[in-house]
Amino acid sequence: MLPATLTWHGEGPCLRLLDQRLIPAEISFVDCRTFEEVAIAIENMTVRGAPAIGVAAAYGVALAANESPDLIPAAIERLSKTRPTAVNLFWALDRMERLYQKLNASGALAYVQIEAEAKKIHEEDVRINRAIGAYGQALLPMQATVITHCNAGALATAGYGTALGVFRAAREAGKTVKVYADETRPRLQGGKITSFELSQDGFDVTVISDSMAAFLMSRTQIDAVITGADRIAANGDTANKIGTYALAIAAKHHSVPFYIAAPISTIDKNCPDGKHIPIEERSGDEIRAIGGEVILPQGVNVWNPAFDVTPAGLIAGIITEAGVLVPPYGNQIKELLEGRA
């Protein structure tokens, strides 16, 4: 059985995170009892994936509230500095902040309410992913062959997954889904985490290195490319794991529909387009070495953006819990967000 990405233990309290840095070699957990421990776990990618980061951050605020409600603002500030691209982090912190302000103003600030909000964000995520899956699976034929990039599965969320949730829902609808998983240089989320998650779940999964996807499309009937997202701008431009953009270009060239599967909380209405999405740059050491072995000559420069931006024009549809948005996105995204407001 697939281990849970994160579990909350009210007694203590403690947030238990599956250590995703070690999958598949080791299944072990990291216990966080302070907001600082949660912040470090997000930074060092013990927990990763946009929705999972948001849920972890919400629990980080709950841990601060348990210590002292006075620590909540500092916790929100610290957690907001951990990773810049996935907007779900800021969305979850914003929700916690609004509740904090409300409770504080009314003099009713108490740990129990802060904890309840974090639990709500956690539970909602699984429900949302199932709805994304239900809409997304309708886009796939009875016998589907798909490509995905990075890990947008149960392990990147509170459970079920977004892109991988679509594959799960298709299977639940009686379809067969053969998945090609991009290995996803440099952190190898596809090779290590997606292939682990899907094979544990009995899927037919084949790992390819990122550079093979275009050639695969030229030789094999691919029905769809589906990935998750870290931030969707108001015009539909979408940031996701580095390599997604190249995959979308290859899909366009081969007339393969390229879909994004993401919760509405991944849409940033304050971000007009992809140019305004902050892109995390990580240490060059992630490129310099593979499996601990240094592969580059000493002193060679490295550029290591963790995400790229796929222009809206390459995206055939954005699968959300409220349905599938199709281009042109402009007004639909605005209306969807206004409808939810």
Q: Report, as residue numbers or ranges, the catalytic residues.
A: 230
SS3 state of residue 307: strand
- Of 30 and 65, nearer to ligand MRU (C-beta) is 30
The DSSP bridge partners found for residue 224 are: 146
Other CB atoms within 10 Å distance of the CB of residue 318: 26
Element (H, E) at 282: none
Q: How far is the CB of 179 from ligand MRU (least distance, A)?
A: 14
The one-letter amino acid at 112: V
Q: Do you find a cis peptide bond into 186, omega within 30 degrees of 0?
A: yes
C-beta closer to ligand MRU: residue 49 or 72: 49
Nearer to ligand MRU, 71 or 324 (CB): 324
CB 219 to ligand MRU: min, Å: 25
Question: How far, rounded to the nearest angstrom, does the alpha carbon of residue 60 sit from its chain's CA centroid?
Answer: 18
- Identity of residue 125: D
Kindly list the residues in this chain that would bind ligand MRU in the complex (CB under 6 A): 48-51, 86, 150, 152, 156-157, 162, 189, 227-230, 240-241, 306
**DSSP letter, residue 297:** P
Count of positions (residues) in the chain:
341
- The partner residues of 238 in beta bridges, in order of sequence, read 232, 310
- Give the nearer residue to ligand MRU in terms of CB position, either 171 or 241: 241
Tokens 């509405």, residue located: 264
CB-CB contact of 261 with 162 (8 Å): yes
Which of 66/189 has CB closer to ligand MRU? 189
289 vs 298: CA distance, rounded Å: 11
Short-list 251, 253, 244, 271, CA closest to 333: 271
Q: Where are the alpha helices (DSSP H) in the chain?
A: 35-43, 50-67, 72-79, 87-106, 111-137, 163-172, 195-200, 213-219, 244-253, 285-288, 330-340
The least CB distance from residue 229 to ligand MRU, in Å, is: 6
* Least distance (Å) between residue 23 CB and ligand MRU: 12
Q: Which residue has the tokens 């995204």?
A: 333
Pairing of strands 289-290, 293-294: antiparallel
Nearest distance in Å: CB 24, ligand MRU: 15
Residue nearest to ligand MRU according to CB distances in the complex: 228
Q: Omega before 141 cis (within 30°)?
A: no
Nearer to ligand MRU by Cβ, of 160 and 329: the residue is 160
Instruction: Please report how close the Cβ of residue 241 comes to ligand MRU at its closest, in angstroms.
Output: 3
Select 61 or 164, whichever has its Cβ closest to ligand MRU. 164
